[in-house]
């Protein structure tokens, strides 16, 4: 009998990893669904450092739903430890991975370099990064890109099909048809389901046939505000910041959220409702991803692109004329000399590293600063502390008073809200077995109860739980 074991993203929103063992002789075929980084504090770093052991050499295939690091960020570590098989993903995910993983390796190298300087002074042994750029190069060489809807044959007689999840460029719902005990069982993994209100992405595809469904539950406890209300609040925040004479800081994920924010700033600009004279995209990775989105227009929502095209009179250079792309460190540092009138978009989205941390250091203690949170903040992150109203936080080794105004705009989420999740789950025929993953415990319990009211029974997956298919 084939089986599935939950190895990550259970009771948390990061670290996605599921082991599929398929009937075979003399031993089962072993496939890995997702290989994500744990994110959020020292505990996450410890989880990322745990070796894969024999699994790295025993695996025959890896399948990815999309390119966010919490779903794909440990792949180079798996390769470093000996995995040499194919990595199946959509074509757009393969291109995103080239940007995301190279950047992750670069950031890790810098972090380890800083840490080892401290360790040398303290007489402690040096440490190594999880992986380096050579590991990333090998990982990218093992990627096998596929189209949405294209059946792909995997070891053990498994068939894979990707469907558009509407979350970010290349994101997919994963369908796996699996031989098990003389039958053929269908496993569906939602990946991260998109928010239909989000711009640029198409709506998530619904799937109707499954025996087992793994469904994300990131926002299982709430519905997002209507986008129009969120945009009106965003506009008011920008006006207040302008009146206060301060900067607007937006920690944004490089993939998806940054492009969505730029879209809305463009629409505001052309409507004459953007008071700020300067918009900085201060993230080399986000710049590269934004350029990739520009080359992948056929994958985006045509109606949203039509709005942009009309606003800019068909001239791509006019989408946001006051946008400044800061690729190098010197340009980024120069932004900190600007005390007001600027919008600064920088990673990381949860304020756990990257250039946004430096901008927080220079702006967080100013009452005129407005910090706009536009994405989910995992437990243990600096972003979560700020959202929960911390009066003091530690940034780059300094204890800072939080005097900036903090705004949380949940309507920008690229994840489905509770009602969208219930609607997606309700499209399945014949009552498949549901397991909730990718959610904090409170969100999962709330979604479980809401699904039950809709007549859908769902279990909350636990770490190392093994189920037969």
- In the chain, what are the domain boundaries? 3-222+414-468, 227-412
For 91-241, strand residue ranges (E) read 143-146, 152-154, 158-164, 172-180, 183-189, 212-216
Residue 18 near residue 5 (C-beta atoms within 8 A) = yes
CATH number of 227-412: 3.40.50.10890
pLDDT of residue 425: 98
Looking only at the bridges linking them, the beta strands covering 29-33 and 158-164 are unpaired
Q: What sign does the CA torsion over 396, 402, 406, 408 have?
A: positive
Residue position matching structure tokens 């999880």: 130
Which residues partner with 445 through β-bridges?
A: none
Listed residue (466, 254, 247) closest to 374, CA to CA: 254
Residue 199 near residue 304 (C-beta atoms within 8 A) = yes
How many residues belong to the chain? Answer: 469
Listed residue (242, 258, 241) closest to 405, CA to CA: 241
Provide the angle, in degrees to the nearest 10, between the axes of the packed helices 418-425 and 441-453: 50
Cα→Cα distances 186→50, 70, 158, 160, 335, Å? 31, 25, 10, 10, 52
Q: Is 392 helix (H, G, I), strand (E, B) or coil?
A: strand
pLDDT of residue 418: 97
Query: In whole angstroms, what is the distance from residue 336 CA to residue 38 CA?
Result: 31
Cα→Cα distances 402→11, 22, 369, Å? 30, 52, 10
In the numeric block, which tokens belong to residue 384?
A: 């979560």
Q: Maximum Cα–Cα distance for the chain, whole Å?
A: 71
Number of H helices, E strands in the chain: 15, 22
Residue 337 near residue 372 (C-beta atoms within 8 A) = no
Residue 98 near residue 149 (C-beta atoms within 8 A) = no
pLDDT of residue 286: 94
Backbone angles phi, psi at 34, to 5 degrees: 75, 155
Residue position matching structure tokens 């496993």: 187
Query: In whole angstroms, what is the distance from residue 348 CA to residue 100 CA?
Result: 12
Residue 297 near residue 305 (C-beta atoms within 8 A) = yes
pLDDT of residue 316: 66
Residue 214 near residue 187 (C-beta atoms within 8 A) = yes
Tell which CATH classification among 3.40.50.300, 3.60.15.10, 3.10.20.520, 3.40.50.150 matches the domain 3-222+414-468: 3.60.15.10
In the numeric block, which tokens belong to residue 221?
A: 């406890």
In the numeric block, which tokens belong to residue 64?
A: 């990815």
Would you give per-residue pLDDT tens digits along the chain (469 residues)? 999 999 999 999 999 999 999 998 889 999 999 999 998 777 888 899 999 999 999 999 999 999 999 999 999 999 999 999 999 999 999 999 999 999 999 988 988 888 899 889 989 999 999 999 999 999 999 999 999 999 999 999 999 999 999 999 999 999 999 999 999 999 999 999 999 988 999 999 999 999 999 999 999 999 998 999 999 999 999 999 999 999 999 998 899 999 999 999 999 999 999 999 899 999 999 999 999 999 999 999 999 988 887 766 666 667 899 999 999 999 999 999 999 999 999 988 889 888 999 999 999 999 999 999 998 888 888 999 999 999 999 998 899 999 999 999 978 888 999 999 999 999 999 999 999 999 999 999 999 999 999 999 999 999 999 999 9
- Structural element, H or E, at residue 31: strand 29-33
Query: In whole angstroms, what is the distance from residue 19 CA to residue 214 CA?
Result: 13
Query: For residue 47, how many other CB atoms are within 10 A of its CB?
Result: 17
Q: Is 145 helix (H, G, I), strand (E, B) or coil?
A: strand
Query: In whole angstroms, what is the distance from residue 328 CA to residue 120 CA?
Result: 28
Burial 52-75 (b: 16+ CB within 10 A, else e): beebbebbbbbbbbbbbbbbbbbb
Looking only at the bridges linking them, the beta strands covering 17-22 and 3-8 are antiparallel
């Amino acid at each position: 009998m084939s089986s599935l074991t939950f190895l990550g993203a259970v009771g948390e929103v990061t670290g996605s990893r599921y082991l599929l063992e398929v009937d075979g002789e003399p031993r089962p075929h072993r496939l890995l669904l997702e290989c994500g980084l744990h994110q959020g504090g020292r505990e996450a770093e410890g989880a990322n450092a745990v070796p894969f052991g024999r699994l790295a050499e025993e695996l025959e295939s890896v399948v990815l739903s999309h390119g966010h690091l919490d779903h794909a960020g440990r792949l180079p570590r798996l390769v470093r430890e000996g995995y040499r098989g194919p990595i199946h993903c959509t074509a757009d995910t393969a291109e995103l991975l080239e940007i995301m993983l190279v950047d992750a390796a670069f950031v890790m190298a810098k972090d380890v370099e800083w840490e080892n300087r401290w360790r040398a002074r303290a007489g402690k042994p040096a440490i190594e990064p999880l992986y380096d750029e050579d590991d990333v190069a090998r990982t990218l060489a093992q990627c096998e890109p596929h189209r949405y809807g294209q059946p792909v044959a995997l070891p053990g007689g498994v068939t894979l099909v990707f469907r558009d999840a509407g979350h970010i460029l290349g994101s997919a719902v994963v369908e796996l048809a699996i031989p098990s005990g003389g039958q053929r069982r269908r496993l569906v993994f939602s990946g991260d389901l998109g928010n239909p209100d989000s711009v640029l992405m198409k709506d998530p595809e619904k799937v109707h046939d499954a025996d087992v469904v793994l469904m994300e539950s990131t926002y299982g406890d709430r519905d997002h505000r209507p986008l129009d209300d969120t945009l009106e609040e965003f506009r008011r925040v920008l006006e207040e910041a302008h009146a206060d004479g301060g900067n607007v800081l937006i920690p944004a994920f490089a993939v998806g959220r940054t492009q969505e924010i730029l879209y809305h700033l463009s629409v505001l600009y052309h409507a004459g409702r953007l008071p700020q004279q300067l918009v900085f995209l201060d993230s080399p990775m986000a710049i590269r991803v934004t350029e990739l989105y520009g080359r992948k227009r056929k994958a985006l929502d045509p109606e949203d692109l039509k709005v942009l095209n009309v606003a800019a009179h068909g001239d791509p250079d006019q989408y946001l004329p006051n946008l400044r792309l800061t690729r190098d460190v010197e340009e980024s540092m120069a932004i900190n000399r600007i005390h007001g009138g600027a919008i600064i978009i920088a990673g990381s989205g949860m304020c756990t590293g990257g250039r946004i941390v430096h901008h927080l250091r220079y702006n967080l203690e100013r009452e005129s600063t407005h910090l706009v949170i536009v994405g989910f903040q995992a437990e243990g992150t600096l972003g979560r502390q700020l959202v929960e109203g911390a009066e003091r936080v530690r940034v780059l080794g300094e204890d800072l008073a939080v005097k900036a105004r903090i705004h949380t705009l949940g309507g920008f989420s690229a994840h489905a809200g509770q009602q969208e999740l219930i609607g997606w789950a309700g499209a399945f025929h014949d009552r498949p077995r549901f397991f909730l993953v990718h959610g904090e415990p409170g969100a999962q319990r709330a979604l479980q109860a809401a699904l039950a009211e809709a007549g859908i029974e769902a279990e909350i997956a636990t770490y190392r739980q093994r189920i037969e298919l």
